[in-house]
Structures are given as structure tokens and as C-alpha cells.
Structure 1
């Protein structure tokens, strides 16, 4: 059953493109985490040195044991509690490169192009992207990775991402669970894990958007319904995302509960206004 569901998903070209792009972002993140961590530590040491220099006339010195949390200021919404690059997703890492002056030597235009692609990917209403979009996305990712030619992991990621985006990923149920074009690098379980991680990130995006708005829009409800319908037809993913879907359902109920009293109050106010109008009309009649 799980293999049949996976085959159905991956034999849909546009959904397969969506997963490939998401997987590429995961590879990009993994390739740059060590570099980001080392640079954040270096940035922290610079801040400690400057602080010590300013405090030294008064005989005060920093112990050097403080935690490098300055990068939290550059995290996107929902990421402010992240205190280490190895905990960052691709979005957080890219925003760190984009907003922190310590990374100003990286071509910011290339960073912003990948951020734009990442946002388009996560905001895709049906979790599908076209082949032309995927090709442009691949070019942007590869352009960004040229900024890290001195990093071995980044160069390995360039090769892996190029191979990933050009692979077929066709699944043929009668012949077993071999995925064409990956040369044994990934099995169906790994593919499903990647799918689950990407959908989890999408659900997180929907939750953050509703929390920021403090309400549910018709568009939010449509997004949620699309994911629910998708998971109802793919039980292997549904099982692995039960906790995330429950959290989203709880948020929906919370926001719906907040909406109801406001609606009731508005109705009462309208009734009072109508009553006032009737009284005024009676006064005029008298």
C-alpha cells in the first residue's frame, strides 16, 4: 500500500518537482551549516573582544562564557528561539546570510533569489511546481553555491543537487521499489522522510501565518483542506504527520473560539443599535 501511494505521488511530475526542490534546500542547508556555525563563532569572538576593549578601562572583562545568540535577531518569524546553525532550516540559514553584516561578502542578490524560490515553494497551494520553475530554481541554487567554492561540502552539494534535479524518480510497483535515476542513493523510506519533513515545514508556515494574523482567512482554510485531502489519500504520510496536523487543528479551534465571542458581541451591539433606532423613531413619532 505504501509503495503504491509513493508511486502515485512521484509519478505526478509537478509534485515530484516540488519534492526535488525541497530536497535540494535540505542539501543546501546541510552543506552550509558547518560554515555558518564557524562564522557565527568567529563573529561572537569579535563581539566579545570589542566588549572587553570597551570595558577594560574600568577593570571589567567579559568571561567569554556567554552564548552567541546575536544571530537570533536575523532569524525569520518562528525561528527566534534557534541558537545554533545546526538547528536552522534552510529558511533560517538563508536569512542569516541575508541580514547579518558578517556575511556581507556573499552576493546578497543570489541569497535573496533562493529565499524567494523557497517562499514560493512553501506557499504553493497544491504542493506542485512546474518543470520550468524547477529549472530556474536549480540555476539560483547553483549560483549561490558558487559563492562557497572554498567549502568542500558546498561543492559536493552542487554535484548532488545537479544529479537530483535531473533524475527521473519514477517508481514501478510491479518490479519492486527501485527509484530510477538515483543509482541506489535513496530508497523509498528516505524519500518518504523527505516528503514528511517538507510537508511539516509547510504546516508550520500555515500555523505561523494564522498566528500572526490572529485569525483564519478563507485562504488559510483552503490551504489546510488541501493538505488534509492530500494526507487522507496518502496514509503513509498521514501517520507520520499526525502530531503536526493535531497541532494545526488545535490552533484552528483556538482561533475559531476567539472569533465567536467577537461575532456575538458584534451581534449584541447591532441589536442595541437597532433598539436605539427604534426608540429614536418613537420619540420622533411622539
Structure 2
């Protein structure tokens, strides 16, 4: 594991890709408690504002799928109207399939997921989401009052990372990203956990991870983080999480099928990357199987 990781980290573009992803993880982690508390408050506000939402339970097991939510019962229709009142852009695509409408009266997080991008159906709390999902929540739910453009800029950077076929970003891109992410953190200065995240992110983005390798057959790698040795296992775990997120993003793109050939090319590049890094291939078996199933269906012309 260490030898292959050290070789990958000697590529500056890949190393910056990992470091940028680590910063997003730190932002996500520092926001968990704040988001959970605020969403519970928001849920109580909804219940207190609309008497029709109180002590009523869906009796029809209403379901939503993708961007569709139709034939709702009275209770779910009331919740839908109230949720949309607090959406900052009702003309945007809303992924109703993220949530279970019948849980809206009792589960605040199921309400929150209406304001998030696709792919949140199995996320049971803020700790299970990526940074982009939480930042989208801040943008589209009017309960939050952060500066919209700062959030958008970092979401764009996250999308660059997840859409990078080579899993690589330039030095210039990384410098611009560092500036945007530190500007965003100013918005979170009243969140206690954000202070530690800010310090870590400044260290990550301003330092180099120096990889030392022996010239013997047995490669001994060590990752230097600032002036201290950063645990190689931690770097590897960050890398693994990011690649899983990248693969999940590709799966969602393949399901939507637009532009199909571009996504299939990305999948082929991903497979070539894993062939060169066998230990990652073995750790990503579940994600690869999902991608292969989608690829087979698409190549056979079957609907997903």
C-alpha cells in the first residue's frame, strides 16, 4: 500500500487532487453538528407555522422518484407546499427522490434532503453527506443566511474535482481553490468546529507532502506533512474515500446518460487507473461492480 501510494503522490497533479479533497472533507466534518441542530430548528418552525402539519401522518405511503413527486396525499401535499415556500429557487431541478415523504412529519433530515443535489436517498444524516450536499442545503433553504456566491464557488471547485477524468488538478487551479475555500471559511467563523478546520486546511494547502523512497527493492515510503510526518494510513483513507465519491458521481452520471459517450470514456480511464494500482482495485470492488452493471446495461441498450 505505502509504495504504490508514494508513487501516486509523487505526481503533483494527483497530490493536489487528494489535498483538495481532504479540505472538502474537513469542511464537511466541521459542519455536522451545526447542520443537524439548525435543521431540527427549521423542522420545528415548519410545524409551528402550519397547523396542518401537526400530528398528521401519511396513510398512503406516498413515494417520490427522481425529480417526480405526484399523487401525494393531503398530508404530504401540505408538507410539499411548505417545503417549497422555503426553497430559494423553485424553478430549479428538485430531487424529490432524495427523501421519503411519509417521514417528513417526524424526521427533519428527510425534509433537508429536498434542498440537496441528487444521490442523497441513503444519507441518514449530515455526517453521511459530502461537503457539496451541505453547501447546496445552505443555498436552497432560506433558513440559512450564508453568502451565496462563496458557497457556489466552492461547489464549482468540488465539481471540478469529481469530474476530473485523470484525478489531477494544476498548481494554478489549486492556488485559486485555496483562496476560495479560505474565503468560504470566513462565513463559518461562528461555528466552533470551523476554527480547527481552518487551521488544518491552511496547513494542508500551504505545505507540500514530500515522499521519501529508498532505492532498495523494498520501498519504504513516508509522507511529510508540514514539519511532521503525516500518517500514511490517513492519507490512504482520504484517497480511498475520494475515489469512492468519484466513482459514485460517475455512476449517477451514467444513470442520467448525458453525455453518455463522455461518461463511458471516463469509466474506461478509471479502469486503466485501477489496473495500474491493484491495491485500490481490490478495495473498490463494490463500486466497480456497480459501474460494470451500468456499463453492461448501457451497452446492451437496456433502460436503467
**Which TM-score bucket, shorter chain as reference?**
0.7 to 0.9
Which residue matches 2:289?
246
Work out the CA distance in 2 between the residues paired with 1:35 and 1:253.
42
Matches within 5 A, 1:136-155: 136-155=176-195
Work out the CA distance in 2 between the residues paired with 1:235 and 1:243.
15
Deviations 1:97-155 (A, max 9, x none): 1111111x200110000001100111012110011111111111111110111112111
Matches within 5 A, 1:1-286: 2-52=1-51, 66-68=106-108, 69-103=110-144, 105-174=145-214, 176-184=220-228, 186-213=230-257, 217-258=260-301
Deviations 1:222-258 (A, max 9, x none): 1111111111111221111111111100111112222
Contact 1:48–1:62 at 8 Å: present in 2 too? no
Which residue matches 2:69?
none
How far off its partner does 1:75 sit?
1.5
How far off its partner does 1:182 sit?
4.4
Work out the CA distance in 1 between the residues paired with 2:39 and 2:228.
36
Contact 1:3–1:173 at 8 Å: present in 2 too? no
- Normalising by structure 1, we get a TM-score of 0.82
Work out the CA distance in 1 between the residues paired with 2:176 and 2:259.
33
- Normalising by structure 2, we get a TM-score of 0.77
Work out the CA distance in 2 between the residues paired with 1:15 and 1:61.
52
Work out the CA distance in 2 between the residues paired with 1:138 and 1:39.
27
Work out the CA distance in 2 between the residues paired with 1:184 and 1:62.
57
How far off its partner does 1:80 sit?
3.7
List gaps (5 residues or longer) in structure 1.
262-286
How far off its partner does 1:3 sit?
2.1
Work out the CA distance in 2 between the residues paired with 1:88 and 1:187.
25
Name whichever of 168-177 and 124-133 sits farther off.
Answer: 168-177
The structure with the largest alpha-carbon Rg is: 1
Contact 2:3–2:221 at 8 Å: present in 1 too? no
Larger helix percent: 1
CA RMSD between the two structures: 2.2
List gaps (5 residues or longer) in structure 2.
58-103
Aligned residues: 252
Deviations 1:18-49 (A, max 9, x none): 00000100011001111111110110111111
